[in-house]
């Protein structure tokens, strides 16, 4: 458990909070590139780390990310005209470029514009995502370089969905490996989604967790007894401050494709976060249409309102569309979509869970270590040091795998080398 003071320290993300200042030392996924489809197109509102921003793509295709309120009389720049390499406020015609510099004014003498700047954050596009850095310019990290960003578009799927709770409880739910074969369990062979009852994930015992520290976070392993002869081992990565890389077997009883998945749990404010869901194939075969859509996870367009804030259609207002007859016979939760199931249990805890009331066990080791790392990162920033992982690029070779291995095998000799790709930067790009 955590004290109330520690809980507040972890969960507050505004620009003046210790955690907010820490999170601003890392690149943050902000928009899908398709949300800004064309130069001089309509601007888009962005809520990120407790700040209200507006994004636009200028005439040259560059992305600008500005404070939403014009520094003149505080009207919303979302109402603005995106024209000729700048976003112009409709109130008095002040125009700002992607750097935040005022470049023209329609109601002031020539030359006054050069004195005016607004808050602007650098934007970088890679892998179909607009990333931003909201921290001090002198602490700018290396550009984001996850392996999924380097594969061809045909080999990568990225979606996002808003979750209505604090980012830490969403993150903790994601890195918790012991819940997955329980919450996401299929109870019958004809269940539409979920871990099949015949899968090693469901058939194996409760996991023993082992963690290896890294300079970007840690690797962790769920080691499960499958039967008298075999172990089932799943290896993951946690990349500071809000990323998980996890194994992803495709198909039910068919061949396993070399596919890896993961999430970024990005705080919008203290009470909501955006869950970024990505999968990629590092083999020859591209992702299928079904894999691209992520429908069975509850992330596809039929599950999420992409046009109105990326809220899930199954949400707390309709009890996450839980179906009690389905729960009785077909799936453990009765909620459609594995990621929807995650959001349901995490949102059911309330906007910010009271961690002083919880009782953790050995299966929660990854959660305990993550909290320690986040608190240590806050301390590093307060001392003037770099937080863990902010300047690291070692995660760009991180891969996650699972294997069934003989019980008498030294499983680490098989699993650990496979957790780090031999590919160098750019080698998997197509």
Exposed e or buried b per residue across 41-74, where buried means at least 16 C-beta atoms within 10 angstroms of its C-beta: eebbebbbbbbebbbbbbeeeebbbbbbbbbbee
In percent, the amount of the chain with pLDDT more than 90 equals 88
pLDDT tier for residue 423 given thresholds of 50, 70 and 90: low
Q: What is the pLDDT of residues 249-276, one digit of tens each?
A: 533 333 466 899 999 999 999 999 999 9
Q: What is the pLDDT of residues 182-191, one digit of tens each?
A: 999 999 887 7
Q: Using DSSP, state whether 131 is helix, strand or coil.
A: strand
- Strand 259-267 to 230-239 pairing: unpaired
Displacement of CA 39 from its chain's centroid (Å): 27
**Cα–Cα distance between 82 and 41 in angstroms, integer?**
6
CA distances in angstroms from 100 to 28, 43, 112, 141, 298, listed in the order given: 19, 15, 15, 21, 37
Q: What is the pLDDT of residues 64-115, one digit of tens each?
A: 999 999 999 999 999 999 999 999 999 999 999 999 999 999 999 989 999 9
**Cα–Cα distance between 33 and 125 in angstroms, integer?**
7
Asked whether the beta carbons of 171 and 180 are under 8 A apart, the reply is no
Asked whether the beta carbons of 129 and 29 are under 8 A apart, the reply is yes
**Cα–Cα distance between 113 and 243 in angstroms, integer?**
41
Q: Is the pLDDT of residue 148 over 50?
A: yes
Q: What is the pLDDT of residues 364-412, one digit of tens each?
A: 999 999 999 999 999 999 999 999 999 999 999 999 999 999 998 899 9
How many other CB atoms are there within 10 angstroms of residue 188's CB atom?
A: 12
Q: What is the pLDDT of residues 183-238, one digit of tens each?
A: 999 998 877 778 888 888 899 999 999 999 999 999 999 999 999 899 999 999 99
Domains of the chain and any CATH numbers:
28-132 (2.102.10.10), 147-418 (3.90.380)
**Cα–Cα distance between 80 and 367 in angstroms, integer?**
44
| DSSP structure class, residue 92 | T
Q: Using DSSP, state whether 256 is helix, strand or coil.
A: coil
Average pLDDT of span 124-148: 98
| pLDDT computed for residue 426 by the predictor | 39
């Amino acid at each position: 458990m955590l004290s109330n003071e520690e809980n507040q320290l972890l969960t507050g993300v505004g620009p003046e909070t210790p955690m907010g200042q820490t999170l601003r030392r890392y690149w943050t996924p902000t928009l899908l590139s398709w949300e800004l489809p064309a130069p001089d197109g309509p601007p888009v509102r962005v809520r990120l780390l407790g700040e209200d921003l507006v994004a636009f793509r200028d005439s040259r295709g560059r992305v600008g990310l500005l404070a939403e309120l014009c520094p003149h009389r505080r009207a919303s720049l979302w109402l603005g005209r995106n024209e000729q390499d700048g976003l112009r406020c409709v109130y008095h015609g002040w125009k700002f470029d992607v750097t935040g510099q005022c470049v023209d004014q329609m109601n002031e003498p020539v030359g006054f514009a050069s004195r005016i700047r607004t808050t602007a954050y650098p934007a970088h596009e890679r892998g179909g995502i607009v990333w931003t850095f909201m921290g001090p310019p002198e602490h700018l990290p290396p550009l984001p370089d996850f392996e999924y960003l380097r594969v061809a578009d045909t080999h990568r799927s990225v979606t996002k969905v808003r979750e209505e709770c604090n980012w830490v409880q969403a993150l903790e739910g994601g890195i918790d490996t012991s819940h997955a074969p329980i919450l996401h369990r299929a109870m019958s062979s004809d269940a539409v989604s979920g871990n099949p009852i015949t899968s090693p994930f469901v058939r194996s015992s409760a996991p023993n967790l082992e963690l290896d520290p890294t300079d970007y976070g840690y690797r962790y392993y769920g080691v499960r007894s499958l039967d008298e002869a075999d172990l089932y081992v799943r290896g993951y990565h946690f990349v500071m401050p809000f990323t998980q890389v996890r194994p992803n077997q495709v198909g039910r009883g068919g061949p396993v494709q070399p596919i890896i998945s993961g999430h970024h749990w990005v705080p919008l404010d203290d009470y909501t976060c955006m869950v970024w869901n990505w999968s990629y194939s590092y083999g020859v075969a591209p992702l299928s249409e079904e894999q691209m859509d992520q429908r069975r996870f509850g992330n596809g367009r039929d599950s999420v309102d992409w046009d109105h804030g990326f809220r899930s259609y199954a949400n707390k207002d309709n009890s996450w569309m839980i179906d009690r007859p389905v729960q009785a016979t077909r799936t453990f939760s009765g909620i459609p979509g594995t990621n929807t199931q995650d959001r349901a249990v995490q949102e059911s805890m309330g906007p910010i869970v009271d961690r002083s009331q919880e009782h953790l066990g050995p299966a929660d080791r990854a959660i305990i270590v993550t909290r320690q790392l986040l608190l240590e990162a806050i301390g590093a920033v307060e001392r003037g040091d770099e937080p863990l992982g902010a300047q690291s690029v070692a995660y760009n070779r991180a891969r996650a795998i699972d294997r069934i291995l003989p019980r008498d095998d030294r499983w680490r000799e098989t699993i650990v080398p496979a957790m780090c790709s031999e590919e160098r930067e750019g080698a998997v790009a197509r």
